[in-house]
Structure 1
Amino acid sequence: MKSGPHAAISLAVGLAALAVTTPPIPAWAVVVIAVAVGVGIDFDHFFLAWYNAGDLGPVRRCLRDPRIVVFDQDAIFEAGTVGALNRLLSHVVIGGIVVPALWLWQPYLAGLVGASLYAHLLADLVSTTRNGVVVERGEGGRPADDGAATRSDGGRES
């Protein structure tokens, strides 16, 4: 999912937080934090691409042509260098570390960050299930039993 829709979803999370809570921080900060977290979590894609492909090509592309970060996000990563399940897993790991750590310092902020990350992850899951195959279905709606699992990016594992 692209940054624009994530920003819109995160904006809705921030506005909902303002509607149902009395924040201990300024209202503008609630919205800025929700949007920054909801979009910023995707920086982990650069680390995943580096880990999977072994080079910093995406970082170089963004530094060479910063407009692609906003206008041509499909040009940032080579196909298959991030991986749908890796991306979702890294978001869960990051959220599972950041939210409890924030809770110790500022519970309201932890709740806001957790809600924004949850909305981001849910949007990614919906997008992934619409655009990729998670389980290949055989006859009768049951998973195919050909001995090979199907990755969410459409590739086959043996």
Structure 2
Amino acid sequence: MESSEHAAIGAVVSAVGVLSLRDCSLETRLALFGYGLLVSVFIDLDHFAWARLQEGDWSHLTRAVTNPKWAFVEQDDVFEGVEIDFQRLLSHVVIGGVTTLAFWLFSPAIAVYNAVVVYAHVLADLLRESRLA
């Protein structure tokens, strides 16, 4: 799934999520909305680590950093030749679990918010993968 699609889904899920949080100030809700939107898109940076492990170099990251327009416009080409479908979903689940647990220590409500945002991201990826298969 492309970043713009994840951003759109993340915006909706984050908006509904912050509206459901009780006893939060407007500033807290805006910060959480921004956090949810960022997580919805930037959790995919783990793909570069998986590509590095598989290929043995950082060439995918180097190409994306040196040509960010290409990385956002031609996202299907960024990881061409690299098979990381299972690994990236697995790491999303691990990242979601670890961050949710960490948030739970401070605020169970924010932990649930985090879990829902990551869940929506993973679900969107799974739905996209099932349509492509």
- The TM-score with structure 2 as length reference comes to 0.89
Higher relative CO (Cα under 8 Å, sequence separation at least 6) belongs to 2
Instruction: Work out the number of aligned pairs and report it.
Output: 131
Structure 1's unaligned 5+ residue stretches are 133-158
- Aligned counterpart, 1:74: 76
- Aligned counterpart, 2:47: 45
Matched residue type, 1:8: A
What is the alpha-carbon distance in structure 2 between the residues aligned to residue 54 and residue 76 of structure 1? 16
Whether the 8 Å contact between 1:23 and 1:108 is mirrored in structure 2 is no
- Aligned counterpart, 2:22: 22
What displacement does 1:107 show?
A: 2.4
- Aligned counterpart, 1:83: 84
What is the alpha-carbon distance in structure 2 between the residues aligned to residue 131 and residue 105 of structure 1? 39
Whether the 8 Å contact between 1:99 and 1:114 is mirrored in structure 2 is yes
What displacement does 1:82 show?
A: 4.3
- Aligned counterpart, 2:115: 114
- Aligned counterpart, 1:125: 126
Whether the 8 Å contact between 1:24 and 1:108 is mirrored in structure 2 is no
- Aligned counterpart, 1:95: 96
What displacement does 1:78 show?
A: 2.3
What is the identity percentage for the equivalent residue pairs of Structure 1 and Structure 2? 36
Whether the 8 Å contact between 1:45 and 1:82 is mirrored in structure 2 is no
Matched residue type, 2:118: L
- Compared with structure 1, are the counterparts of its residues 63 and 23 closer, same or farther at alpha carbon in structure 2 (3 Å cutoff)? farther
Deviations 1:63-120 (A, max 9, x none): 22121232221232222x2421111111111112111111102323222211110000
What displacement does 1:23 show?
A: 5.4
Whether the 8 Å contact between 2:21 and 2:109 is mirrored in structure 1 is no
Structure 2's unaligned 5+ residue stretches are none
- Aligned counterpart, 1:139: none
Whether the 8 Å contact between 1:48 and 1:82 is mirrored in structure 2 is no
Whether the 8 Å contact between 2:64 and 2:70 is mirrored in structure 1 is yes
Q: Which runs of at least 4 in structure 1 moved beyond 6 Å after TM superposition?
A: none
What displacement does 1:50 show?
A: 0.4
- The TM-score with structure 1 as length reference comes to 0.76
Whether the 8 Å contact between 1:14 and 1:34 is mirrored in structure 2 is yes
Deviations 1:37-66 (A, max 9, x none): 111110100000001111101111012212
Matched residue type, 1:89: L
SS of equivalent residue, structure 1 residue 105: coil
Q: Does 1:31 align with 2:33?
A: yes
Q: Does 1:65 align with 2:47?
A: no
